[in-house]
Structure 1
Amino acid sequence: MPEPPHVLGVNCKNHHFNDPRARYCAVCGISMMQATLAPFKGPRPPLGILLVDDGQTVPLAADLLIGREPRRAPEVAERRAIPMRLTDEDGSISRRHTLVSLDGWQVRLVDLGSVNGTAVRPPGAADFERIPPHTPVKLVPGTAARIGASRTFRFESNREP
């Protein structure tokens, strides 16, 4: 697994490393508003989890390459991403389909030019909307994604959207 990058963050008074924009500590829930915060670079903690339609829970500690055969992808071979194998009965998932990219404290989803596409449904939206290939889309907690024709996951995090 790739080493977590160092990002600018702050500690709550209980010494938990957080996004400097956080109102509450992601670990203990204490308010960050009243503390005097001194930003410093530290290893980024996991930014949330993916809840997959088959019950799988995948932590987001590094970039994640999703596809039918992700282990053969250059991002995985070069240790820039962790592989997540996902298949469906229709064969609509590409070998190298989608990248969940962690950039600083943000989570982004990128369709890698797959034939059957990637779609997202933000919290409160009724329908999935296909995202353009090779265009990063920011994920906020509660966003659902559809990979290919039918497989889905939801991004969840205790961090603020």
Structure 2
Amino acid sequence: MDVRAFRGAADGAELTRISGGDRSVVPAEALLAGSVPPQGWRRGWFAVDCVLIVLVGSTALLHWALGLVLVLALIAAGIDDLTRTGRTPGQRLLGLRTVDADTALPPRRGMQHWATVDLRRGADPLALIPLAVPRLPGGPDRWSPRRAENAAAVAVLVDDGTVLAINGATVLGRSPEAPADARYGVARVTDLSRTLSRNHVLLEPVDAGVRVTDLGSANGTAVAAPGETFAALTAHQPVEVPLGARIAIGERVLLLADPTGVTG
């Protein structure tokens, strides 16, 4: 695959929401393309975090219990922020991010290789905009019965570079559940900002593209055909859009694409 299948998002993008899709279709060199490691004193971001902890802990001079609580709260918040967004308080001050070198996602337990990048001088590994469709299971070979049976009908490219393979009516959301009386699949898109509803939108592949239905989500759904602006959907009123259209669900943007497209 050509590593140019993805490019970085606009400078200054602050992405804290990670999709539940699959990033394994994107090679590591593409995920980290354009990123720059920190230079000089900014490499010592851990020392900045320590200084922040000491400053917060200095409140113990006024009240030791309050100082202890604030220090523990800062440490817990820093660990949580690191595992959710790849950024500690010190890294935020210095404009840095730490990611897994294999997936370019925020650190997770058991991560063996990691990389810290300078967001002010290079690309953000989390901010990927898909320019083409990676090869998905099933590929373009439609003569094989097994491949045809497992092939995705639609490739849904999420704004962080992950890919969801949709081969039938599928409910997308923060923690989706298929209706008991319908044969729907589900696909989870993790949204740490809580702008997605549990069951947010229903996607149904059709001959002309995809039928999109907002499932009464709290923050709504909007669609944009190729070259057009977004238009909000009315809840429970399906709208058909062609491949190449974009769908905005909460603060996430999805691109509908032909899964048989191959780059490189």
**TM-score scaled to structure 2, two decimals?**
0.39
What is the percent sequence identity of the aligned residues? Answer: 33
Q: In the aligned structure 2, how far is the partner of 1:141 from the partner of 1:106? A: 5
| Number of the residue aligned with 2:171 | 65
**Aligned: 1:137 with 2:248:** no
Question: Higher helix share goes to which structure?
Answer: 2
In the TM superposition, 1:38-57 aligns within 5 A as: 46-57=152-163
| Number of the residue aligned with 1:157 | 258
**TM-score scaled to structure 1, two decimals?**
0.61
Distance 1:141 1:96, change over 3 A: same
Which residue identity does 1:128 align to in structure 2?
A: F
Please tell me whether the aligned partners of residues 111 and 117 of structure 1 are also in contact (alpha carbons under 8 angstroms): yes
- Is there any run of 5+ residues in structure 2 with no aligned partner, and where? 1-139, 142-147
- Is there any run of 5+ residues in structure 1 with no aligned partner, and where? 1-26, 29-41
SS of the counterpart of 2:244? coil
SS of the counterpart of 1:93? coil
| Number of the residue aligned with 2:212 | 109
Q: In the aligned structure 2, how far is the partner of 1:133 from the partner of 1:99? A: 11
State the Cα distance separating 1:113 from its structure 2 match: 0.7
Distance 1:146 1:84, change over 3 A: same
State the Cα distance separating 1:103 from its structure 2 match: 4.3
State the Cα distance separating 1:135 from its structure 2 match: 1.0
State the Cα distance separating 1:43 from its structure 2 match: 6.6
Pick the structure with greater CA Rg: 2
Query: RMSD across aligned C-alpha pairs, in angstroms?
Result: 2.7
Which residue identity does 1:97 align to in structure 2?
A: H
| Number of the residue aligned with 1:98 | 201
Question: Higher strand share goes to which structure?
Answer: 1
Aligned residues: 116
Could you list the runs of 4 or more consecutive aligned residues of structure 1 that deviate by over 2 angstroms after TM superposition?
42-48, 87-90, 102-106
State the Cα distance separating 1:142 from its structure 2 match: 0.9
In the TM superposition, 1:26-41 aligns within 5 A as: 27=140
State the Cα distance separating 1:140 from its structure 2 match: 0.5
